[in-house]
Amino acid sequence: MSQTLPELFAARAPEPSRPFLRDTPGGLDTYLDLETEVRRWACRLMAAGIRPGDRVVYQVEKSPAVLTLHLALLRCGAIQVPVNPAYPDREVAVLLADADPALVIRDPARVAVPGAWQSVTLDANGTGTARELANDDDIAMPTLRSTDGVALLYTSGTTGRPKGALLTHANLVHNAKTLVDAWGFTHDDVLLHILPLFHTHGLFAATHCVLASGASLVLLPTFDVLRSLEALPHCSVLMGVPTHYSRLLADHRFNASLVRGMRLFVSGSAPMSPALHAAFEAQTGRTVLERYGMTETSMLASNPLDGVRKPGSVGPPLPGVAVRVVDDVETPLVTRSVGHVQVRGPNVFGGYWRRPDLADKTFTDDGWFRTGDLGAFDSDGYLELVGRSKDLIISGGLNIYPQDVEDVLDALVGVRESAVFGVPDQDLGERIVAVVVADESVDLDPEELRSAARQRLAGYQVPKRIVIVESLPRNAMGKVAKTVLREVAKEWTT
């Protein structure tokens, strides 16, 4: 029978006295605390007029209050829109215009919400005007359906037309149940939560595995190597992006003895190099379980909990998820042939918010979702990702769409055109850089361009280096040849 997320979490909730948050201030020590707080917030939100299908945007720093808010919004049937706190107001305004929210919740430190949206504040301590929303403890919670929308996660297009992936209860229930089974979660697990709470990795994969198994978690407000080293001996599972693992490995205290109580390390959101896998094994005596996911699909493939984990591979498709590799005309390919990765299953979203125009590009005629990733299956049915057909940089597990950054650079005074691309980086996997062509007779200063770009982009989107060039290399079609630029960039010293 189809379930909603609140039904799944209720069915899997442990004894109310069981721990929920450990070593984490915020008043959510037990599942009873969590239930009390979630119920209170759900009533507040309903009393404030939030109804099923309403969008509620939150752009707040990571804290236990975000978990409460996430769960309360699920109960109200609202479509939640978590937004990266690093986004500047200009980008937020674009998302707000698209999401058209009934309520916006932001950190009190930020300036007023751009636009005429009903808004309240909430800070990392769980205080703010959101607490002043009228309460009505007797308010009835709405009946939800598994096909209802749960969350809008914006992918690219913050400088152009936004693309919000709309995920349903059915999508996320499938993901949570599948991961709990595949990764062997039980209520004895303690997850060390180091990820942001505005992406599918930290909000859904990590948090929902805990809630759908009655486990507990240590919630760090930001990723911090020292605090992680302190917490790890009290935890059993860690989920991170490769940058987390390379930063932990850089500290010699991250070793076999420290992690002896850990049963599982999961990596995803970006490729983990075989070298990093090997370094991890050499230093800890353990292996990382690498998996593959996407905002639009949640988790797709995973190396096994028990059995062979292959570095450089993301493992077989997860149960219930169909993955195929096809050529340019969408004919399925045989084992070991590299092609476009496509996916189908109950985990796959239905489409982008208010963007029916994208349906044909997003899905094939027979309903397969085009991931934009390139890969091949090996003879054991493990998927190996080898690249991407989409123009995307993944830096420290965060996606940067070059077009978004090029639009900002091109709009700067004195810039004729620009090209943004990623180069290999030891720490971030890929590092964003840009080449810029100046208008005739204009002398551009790269550092001034970076500062100007910073006014309009989130910090992680700002090119780490800008190089002024005479012209951009182009292919026969007139498209900027980024492969040529990547080769040229290899000569750069930093």
Which residues of the chain form contacts with ligand AMP (CB under 6 A)?
155, 200, 268-271, 290, 292-295, 314, 371-373, 385, 388, 394, 399
Helix/strand/coil for 208: helix
Residue 363 interacts with, from ligand MLC, ligand AMP, none (CB under 5-8 Å by kind): none
Q: Residues 26, 82, 202, 345: which binds ligand MLC (CB under 6 A)?
A: 202
Phi/psi at 231 (5° precision): -80, -30
In angstroms, what is the minimal distance from the CB of 241 to ligand AMP?
Answer: 9
* Backbone CA torsion sign across 184, 185, 189, 191: positive
Q: Residues 144, 343, 428, 435: which binds ligand MLC (CB under 6 A)?
A: 428
Residue 395 interacts with, from ligand MLC, ligand AMP, none (CB under 5-8 Å by kind): ligand MLC
End-to-end CA distance of the chain: 55
Q: Residues 126, 157, 164, 268: which binds ligand MLC (CB under 6 A)?
A: 268
276 part of the interface to ligand MLC, by CB under 6 A: no
Q: Residues 58, 154, 183, 223: which binds ligand MLC (CB under 6 A)?
A: 223
Cα dihedral: 367, 369, 375, 378 (round 10) = -50
**Rounded Cα–Cα distance for residues 360 and 373 (Å):** 17
Phi/psi at 243 (5° precision): -60, -40
Residue 220 interacts with, from ligand MLC, ligand AMP, none (CB under 5-8 Å by kind): none
In angstroms, what is the minimal distance from the CB of 339 to ligand AMP?
Answer: 15
| Strand blocks (E) in 277-392 | 289-294, 298-302, 322-326, 339-344, 369-377, 383-388
In angstroms, what is the minimal distance from the CB of 243 to ligand MLC?
Answer: 4
269 part of the interface to ligand MLC, by CB under 6 A: yes
In angstroms, what is the minimal distance from the CB of 46 to ligand AMP?
Answer: 31
Q: Which residue is nearest to ligand AMP (CB)?
A: 295
**Rounded Cα–Cα distance for residues 305 and 120 (Å):** 43
CA angle 471, 474, 480 (to 5 degrees): 90
196 part of the interface to ligand MLC, by CB under 6 A: yes
Residue type for 189, please?
D
Helix/strand/coil for 96: helix
Segment contacting ligand MLC by CB under 6 A, of 76-84, 88-96, 173-181, 394-402: 394-402
In angstroms, what is the minimal distance from the CB of 267 to ligand AMP?
Answer: 7
Per-residue burial over 306-320, b if 16 or more Cβ lie within 10 Å, else e, is eeebbbbbbbbbbee
**Residues making contact with ligand MLC (CB under 6 A):** 195-196, 199-202, 222-223, 241, 243, 268-269, 293-295, 395-398, 428, 459-460
